[in-house]
Structure 1
Amino acid sequence: MKKFLFTLFLLVVVIVHSQSKVSGIILDEYDAPVAFANIVFKNSSEGTITNDNGRFYLEADSTYDTLIVSFIGYDTQEIVLDKKVNYDMKIIMVESTEQLDEVIVYTGKQSKKNNPAIDILKKIWAKKRENGVRKFKSYDYDKYEKIEFDLNTIDSALIKSKVFKGMEFVFNDLDTSRITGKTYLPIFLNEVSSKIYGNNEFELEKEEVLGNKNSGFGGNQAITAFVEDLYTDYDIYNNYLKFFDKSFTSPLSKTGVDTYNYVLSDSTYIDNKWCYNIIYYPRRKNELTFKGDFWVNDTTFAIKKINMEVTKSANINWVKEIYIEQDFDVISDSVFLLKRDYMLSDFAFSKKEKSKGVYGKRTTVYDNYIFNVKHPESFYKSVSDPYDTNVFQRDSIFWKNARLESLNEDEAGIFKLLDTLKTVPKFNTFYNVASILASGYVEIDKWNLDIGDLYSTFGFNDAEGIRVRAGARTFFSQNDPWRIEAYTAYGFTDKKFKHGLSGKFMLDRKSRLILSGGHRRDVEQLGISLTSTNDVLGRSIASSALVSVGNNNRLTSINLGVINLEMEPVKNFRFSLGSSFRTLSSALPEDFSLDYIDEDSPTGISSEIKQFDINTTIIYTPGKKTIGYGVERYDVNENYSTLLLNCTVGLSEFLESDFDYQRLQFSYTQPWQLGGFGRLTSTVELGKTFGEVPLGLLSVVPGNQTLFSLYNTFPNLDFYEFVTDTYATLHLEHNFNGRLFSRIPFLRKLNLREIVGLRGAWGTISDENIALSAPTNIPLLAPSDEIYWEYSLGIGNIFKIFRIDFNFRGNYLENPDARAFGVTGTFGFNF
């Protein structure tokens, strides 16, 4: 009886929220599913196509009584709809027997020659820069965006499950997706109202945020940053569209003819403009492609309407479905402007039809276009404060006027629903557990304190043996203007306590002037990075690797104090000036010596380095996006370059410092999105030390004796195998995202991804520096005779989370204990 009532309730919801809904499966005469069949309500442009399994779902706000089903090579069918809601339809397609003059029938893979759809596509390419805002010198328009997250595939079993016991009231707000036909429950909503200003002559564009409103988890910036990164802007006319860090071939791409099949399906008037309808679907499985159709004008060849659905075989994880719609307005005979952009993503652990997951939906509406309004170049370069408190405190009157698309009843109810949920202890428990797993910290609200990082609680190395660590940080809000963090650790082999204390204080928010400082006494694996900074609380994974390769005993005891002043006068351009005083000594003197010649020592040899340095660092990260305005911020995206220039001056005698020297270092990291060929990451590092310094102050070519794949290290080098005072390194790593494996039949279904790497290092060390460290018990070698190089072949996306790299050493195989081959790996949740 309860199941009947639940089904009846869903039916009521369906009827109330829409006038026409249909779903079902399309089969041929042999009961084989017909993929990519075209389905449309008669006398409308409301349509869809079947998925790989022949299934479809279609919804419209208006009432229609006839459904038209067609596919090239089959007879077109008109099906009378005797009800507003028709689910689980079974439609049988019959192969066409008619042969009409001057009609070419396309089935399966379409020819690239004599195909009218491709002729139209070529005209779209020629005209794409002549449509939209690019036709004008300047443009202004309003933009309204809402991002919503929903639990989906809600059924009676889920409602009655123990998970939701005591929270059954949340299901009062169930709705049904017009795309998939599945029930869903809204849980999060974010709204942004903006004004866009652009100038095509200056090639500049700026966005002024007028209002920002969150519901649900709006206070958690980690979640907000995740949402922001998922839904970046895109242009369907581009050759490749980037979603979830993957490049999908656009159906309007110039390379689309090699990726998609195109069929000219229909033509009709839309908004008094004659338009052609073209259906497209992928030529091969497992590639990052779409299926769908678009309507294009017959004179301007501008897109009037397009829908894109990612094929289920696409090599992407944790996303069961992606659906995109864009509608364009006809402003004049030759101007088509984007009016509405809708994107739905179905996140789930499994791609099975009945699997439960979370919808992520973004709707962006554009309106009030104004052209050729003159603004000076400085206007476009000026940046408004995105964290103005007024932006986040707009009243209901503002939002009533700012919403270019009104909230429906369920969306409006999210705010009330979440306020109610936050009063339920069980919900708060779920939220706290998720927050701990995401951040690694346990929040203690009454003390404004976080305990953690929990992921650093246990470790192991040769010097300390088993190591335990406990820490805490102040935390009043995500945007704290100051933060203090501390930890203590204990090693059961060396029987010593270690500690670290760090403080950061924002003196000026506009320029992000930050004063920071701290002290640390610990055991560390130095030489894991060439251009590392003096992070008081930072610790490399190599310092506590549970399993290592070879004798991983070259550890250093470090006693470090730092003070630093940093500012960001221009967005993404950071400048810092600081000083540090450190004492370095070997944590295992019998195995690894930092001894050097010291004429002032009674023995002529010193085992400890005391050094005072002044550091100046410039970091430029063009294209980087962040969220938050406190002393700590969250990165939103990964696709930006990083340029670093560091100058270090060592002063002797001051605070009993030992050495005078100067060091210049430069690094440049650049990710390259190479369309359908994947993603290449490159890093170049250069450095030189002027003056005589011992081993502890030289530049070590970063080795890797762990079993983890660590970018920017050399996995076949031991720590301190190469030591330099002048160096240059290059790292290249390319992820093909499965482009090659997708063409191998027996590998295709595994959705594996190919990764290749190439690394090289060159460096020298002066005779004076070698002589200074003569007492040390390790050889001081530099790759000066020839460039040291390695290469690797990797397989990623194993069971969706694992990656294995097979690493090969190219030369210097005569070095003591040289490792010619090694295997490393990593794991993580990647799309």
Structure 2
Amino acid sequence: MKKVLGVLFFVFCCVSAWSQTKVGGIVVDEDGKPVPFANILFKNSTEGTITNDNGRFYIESEKTYSTIIVSFVGYATREIELKEKVNYDLRIVLQEGEQLDEVVIYSGRQSKKNNPAIDILRKIWAKKRENGINKFKQYEYDKYEKIEFDLNTIDSALMNSKLFKGLEFVFEELDTSSVTGKTYLPIFINEAFSKVYGDNKSKRLKEELIGNKNSGFSSNQSIIAFVQDLYADYDIYNNYLKFFDKSFVSPLSRGGIDVYNYVLADTAFIDNKWCYNIIYYPRRKNELTFKGDFWVNDTTFAIKEINMAVTKSANINWVKEIYIEQEFDVLNDSVFLLKRDYMLSDFSLNKKEKSRGIYGKRTTVYDNYQFDEERPGSFYEKEVDPYDERIYNRGDDFWAKNRLEKLNKDEEGIYKLVDTLLTVPKFKRLYSIGSVLATGYYEIDKLNLDFGPVFSTFGTNEVEGLRIRAGGRTYRGQNDLWRLEGYTAYGFKDKKFKYGISGKWLLDRKNRIILSAGNRRDVEQIGVSLTATNDVLGRSFASSALFTAGANNTLTNINLTTAALEFEPLRNVIFKTGASYRTLRSAFPEEFSLDYIDPESPTGISSQVKQFALNFSLEITPKRKTLGYGVERNDVNDDYSRFFINYSLGIDGFLESDFDFKKVQLFYRKPTQIGGLGRFLTTVEAGKTFGEVPLALLSPVPGNQTLFSIFNTFPNLDFYEFVTDTYVSVHLEQNFGGRLFSRIPFLRKLNLRELVGVRGVWGDLSEQNRLLSSPTNITLRAPSDQIYWEYSFGIGNIFKVFRIDFNFRGNYLDLPDARRFSVTGAFGFFF
């Protein structure tokens, strides 16, 4: 214990010497109730902060100050003398008294002249497209980004816990947050230096990565992709700012007056520019808004400084605090350019004040702006695969020259700390557990293999009974040029082994030419997706569900062999050509028949289909961002659109193939962020089969007999309830993200999220195909007379991890065993 106290005392002394003034505490009113959003300012400075929802605050400065000013609308301003350089646990009482008039927000066409802050806000709106880089035809600049993760709220109990037994040396790197005042331990850092080029006329942008460096975990694509997705770029002048898949209303938004209170608090010279200081805070709780203040120039109405903090009541999971600072440089009398952007996120299981968590911090520094240097359009055409190993192995001289903000002592220590941790067996075990939970694979470094996915180990269906599965993949690093994957499974009811094996090889890195092949023999639920794929290792959840609505017996034995060649001549434009050979027969012929008329069969009926087909496809995914330059890449974002078209040509007689046919399929998905109303997802599928084919090669409308919500299925349809050879399907879903529930007092604290969905499908089945499959015991019908449709209402974020959907059938209610209503659910971790 003495050693721990000694370390803490040493850290305290070091930090005190670094930061000259530290102040923390709580602001309350005369009744002892916390005062949220009160303004805290060092006297004779522009350095300040705002109290949180609970009235608490923390502020520090490298300068020495002797007084803070505490103010809030409707209360008398107080000046608090600071007796020491470090002042914790202050309790400041505000008394009601004269102050700036309270901001009054009017609706409709009534005047808003009573609030000078809103008048200034209107001028910001008018000028926002004339500020910064928007004033120039072309621009370029240097960009240095530093992302750091820290374990926070370190105390003696944590230091002495069994979790850190044998790892006590890590606490030598403790530091204190300048935003929250909490003690933290740095555990990860990533640095990147880039050159950014833009053309406002053609709306083109190019970011060229020059150097990248991180401490540990560099081989784990999932972790790196997660980090990059968290910290996407944003523009404070936009009406909505996206963080953690959520759309927050910007304090500079044109709709800000409907969700924020604004107060003109002060005026001052900053860098020889006269600026107004405006405080803002939310009008209602639970909405995705900020609290903070900004300084804006009195002539250009460009932002000079802004601070934004998300309130704890905001409907966002696993994030206790978000704090943002932006500073702008004055280029000349009319141009303000972004200089530094800092963002801190406090990730935690709950939002209690003393709960432990992880800080995620991003610092971005911009420099060396140049303007109006026009470049040809070809310059902005990004290479598909710009991987350069040198970028990830830059030496110390490079970083000493290109770091636009030097690392402090603690940040420099992270590299050494993580290198040491990776040699400690206990840390390796903890890292392995976390990696398995994140990726589903267990790493076997000595063999360059990953075992998994572990979440597919167990399953059950009526053919196999209990099913166990074991699989793995080769993994030498995130940029492997080739990869082999495989699995084997065993069903205890049918007493049969199944397997799948697949390989892929990146032949050309520049154009991402990939050769792939595989074979699979297994039991599968065909028809849970309208748009067919040749995924050898894929398996639908429908064939392994533990609980189902009705009999889950329409399963198929499949023997699938594929080979394909794909290339990506342009970024996010992928062409693919290949061939497949499959053998299909019912896995449960007593209950589910795939029989069809076959004149060449001795009985006139066949139960098995052998089919060879050539496949040609085009996939376009604009604005998709990926990580990695090997044969496999991880998606960084999920807000991109996807367009996919596939053409299949079945050839009769080749390798004993049974049918001639042509099939065209189209898939389109587009997520749209609709301002403050949440996220709207549109999915459209269409397809047609030309030629006569049996049931096994037709397009069943995807039903869902499980109790789980499965993407792009119809939860009130049974498998094979509708079968088509021509179809058009539309799925629409709106996730309001809690916007409606936040206005209902007794639901507000639950942070629930409301979802509404509508889906429909029209399909047809030719008489020839109906007659061909007439021996089957499945009733062949298509939704051709009228569009089959369903609607649903969902409640998400139940206990932060569960979603429940109430699904209603819109028509075809007179069909035998028609399910009018169903309840499905899904688990997931979402912000």
C-alpha contact 2:384 2:512 (8 A) present in aligned 1: no
Tell whether 2:630 aligns with 1:634.
no
| 1:548-573 superposed Cα distances (whole Å, 9 cap, x missing partner) | 00121100000111111111111001
C-alpha contact 2:384 2:568 (8 A) present in aligned 1: no
C-alpha contact 1:208 1:384 (8 A) present in aligned 2: no
Task: Tell me the equivalent position of 1:690.
Answer: 690
Task: Tell me the equivalent position of 1:599.
Answer: 599
C-alpha contact 2:384 2:511 (8 A) present in aligned 1: no
Task: Tell me the equivalent position of 2:234.
Answer: 234
| 1:568-627 superposed Cα distances (whole Å, 9 cap, x missing partner) | 111001110000010100001111100000000010000000100000011100011110
Equivalent AA in structure 1 for residue 653 of structure 2: E
Equivalent AA in structure 2 for residue 178 of structure 1: S
C-alpha contact 1:212 1:392 (8 A) present in aligned 2: yes
| 1:52-102 superposed Cα distances (whole Å, 9 cap, x missing partner) | 11111111111111111111222211222121111111111121158xxxx
Task: Tell me the equivalent position of 1:803.
Answer: 803
Could you tell me how far apart the structure 1 residues matched to 2:570 and 2:98 are?
69
| 1:205-224 superposed Cα distances (whole Å, 9 cap, x missing partner) | 10111100011212211100
Tell whether 2:84 aligns with 1:50.
no
Tell whether 2:101 aligns with 1:104.
yes
Tell whether 2:78 aligns with 1:77.
yes
Could you tell me how far apart the structure 1 residues matched to 2:282 and 2:398 are?
45
Equivalent AA in structure 2 for residue 817 of structure 1: D
Task: Tell me the equivalent position of 2:341.
Answer: 341
Could you tell me how far apart the structure 2 residues matched to 1:189 and 1:379 are?
32
Could you tell me how far apart the structure 2 residues matched to 1:249 and 1:486 are?
47
The alignment partner of 2:398 has SS state of: helix
- The offset of 1:410, in angstroms, is 0.3
The alignment partner of 2:149 has SS state of: strand
Task: Tell me the equivalent position of 1:36.
Answer: 37
Task: Tell me the equivalent position of 2:646.
Answer: 646
- The offset of 1:5, in angstroms, is 4.1
- The offset of 1:112, in angstroms, is 4.8
Q: CA RMSD in A?
A: 1.4
The alignment partner of 1:368 has SS state of: strand
Equivalent AA in structure 2 for residue 57 of structure 1: Y
Q: Within 5 Å, give how 1:38-437 maps onto structure 2.
A: 38-97=39-98, 104-106=101-103, 112-383=112-383, 386-437=386-437
C-alpha contact 1:585 1:609 (8 A) present in aligned 2: yes
Task: Tell me the equivalent position of 2:23.
Answer: 22
| 1:133-164 superposed Cα distances (whole Å, 9 cap, x missing partner) | 01011111110000000000000111111111
Could you tell me how far apart the structure 1 residues matched to 2:14 and 2:318 are?
29
- The offset of 1:452, in angstroms, is 1.7
Could you tell me how far apart the structure 2 residues matched to 1:684 and 1:97 are?
60
- The offset of 1:808, in angstroms, is 0.2
| 1:510-559 superposed Cα distances (whole Å, 9 cap, x missing partner) | 11111111111110000000113111111000011110001211000001
- The offset of 1:814, in angstroms, is 1.3
Equivalent AA in structure 2 for residue 428 of structure 1: K
| 1:222-245 superposed Cα distances (whole Å, 9 cap, x missing partner) | 100000000000000000000000
CA separation of 1:464 and 1:384: change in aligned 2, threshold 3 A: closer
Could you tell me how far apart the structure 1 residues matched to 2:336 and 2:788 are?
56
The alignment partner of 2:455 has SS state of: helix
| 1:138-196 superposed Cα distances (whole Å, 9 cap, x missing partner) | 11111000000000000011111111111111010100000000010100000000111
Equivalent AA in structure 1 for residue 163 of structure 2: V
Could you tell me how far apart the structure 1 residues matched to 2:808 and 2:98 are?
60
Equivalent AA in structure 2 for residue 803 of structure 1: R
C-alpha contact 2:385 2:511 (8 A) present in aligned 1: no
C-alpha contact 2:704 2:713 (8 A) present in aligned 1: yes
C-alpha contact 1:73 1:107 (8 A) present in aligned 2: no
C-alpha contact 1:36 1:49 (8 A) present in aligned 2: yes
The alignment partner of 1:279 has SS state of: strand
Equivalent AA in structure 2 for residue 50 of structure 1: T
The alignment partner of 1:331 has SS state of: strand
Task: Tell me the equivalent position of 2:621.
Answer: 621
C-alpha contact 1:320 1:346 (8 A) present in aligned 2: yes
Identity of aligned residues (%): 68
Equivalent AA in structure 1 for residue 33 of structure 2: A
- The offset of 1:6, in angstroms, is 5.6
CA separation of 1:61 and 1:377: change in aligned 2, threshold 3 A: same
Could you tell me how far apart the structure 2 residues matched to 1:208 and 1:10 are?
39
Could you tell me how far apart the structure 2 residues matched to 1:745 and 1:611 are?
60
- The offset of 1:458, in angstroms, is 1.0
| 1:369-425 superposed Cα distances (whole Å, 9 cap, x missing partner) | 111112112212243854211111111111011100000000011101111111111
Could you tell me how far apart the structure 2 residues matched to 1:57 and 1:274 are?
27
Could you tell me how far apart the structure 2 residues matched to 1:128 and 1:456 are?
51
C-alpha contact 2:103 2:261 (8 A) present in aligned 1: no
Task: Tell me the equivalent position of 2:743.
Answer: 743
TM-score where L is the length of structure 1: 0.98
Equivalent AA in structure 2 for residue 63 of structure 1: T
CA separation of 1:386 and 1:355: change in aligned 2, threshold 3 A: farther
C-alpha contact 1:190 1:218 (8 A) present in aligned 2: no
Could you tell me how far apart the structure 1 residues matched to 2:105 and 2:88 are?
28
Could you tell me how far apart the structure 2 residues matched to 1:385 and 1:521 are?
34
Bigger shift: residues 599-608 or 108-117: 108-117
Task: Tell me the equivalent position of 1:792.
Answer: 792
Could you tell me how far apart the structure 1 residues matched to 2:560 and 2:386 are?
37
Could you tell me how far apart the structure 2 residues matched to 1:789 and 1:130 are?
48
Q: Within 5 Å, give how 1:451-490 maps onto structure 2.
A: 451-490=451-490
TM-score where L is the length of structure 2: 0.98
The alignment partner of 1:238 has SS state of: coil
Task: Tell me the equivalent position of 1:11.
Answer: 12
Equivalent AA in structure 1 for residue 689 of structure 2: T
| 1:350-385 superposed Cα distances (whole Å, 9 cap, x missing partner) | 100000000000000001111111211221224385
C-alpha contact 2:104 2:115 (8 A) present in aligned 1: no
Could you tell me how far apart the structure 1 residues matched to 2:169 and 2:17 are?
20
Could you tell me how far apart the structure 2 residues matched to 1:449 and 1:11 are?
45
Return 5+ residue gaps in structure 2 as ranges. Answer: none
The alignment partner of 2:332 has SS state of: coil
C-alpha contact 1:686 1:727 (8 A) present in aligned 2: yes
Could you tell me how far apart the structure 2 residues matched to 1:472 and 1:67 are?
60
Could you tell me how far apart the structure 2 residues matched to 1:378 and 1:97 are?
63
Equivalent AA in structure 2 for residue 104 of structure 1: D
Bigger shift: residues 181-190 or 22-31: 22-31
Equivalent AA in structure 2 for residue 311 of structure 1: T
Q: How many residues align?
A: 827
- The offset of 1:454, in angstroms, is 1.4
Equivalent AA in structure 2 for residue 778 of structure 1: I
Equivalent AA in structure 1 for residue 726 of structure 2: T
Equivalent AA in structure 1 for residue 607 of structure 2: S
Task: Tell me the equivalent position of 2:546.
Answer: 546
C-alpha contact 2:384 2:569 (8 A) present in aligned 1: no
- The offset of 1:267, in angstroms, is 0.4
- The offset of 1:11, in angstroms, is 2.7
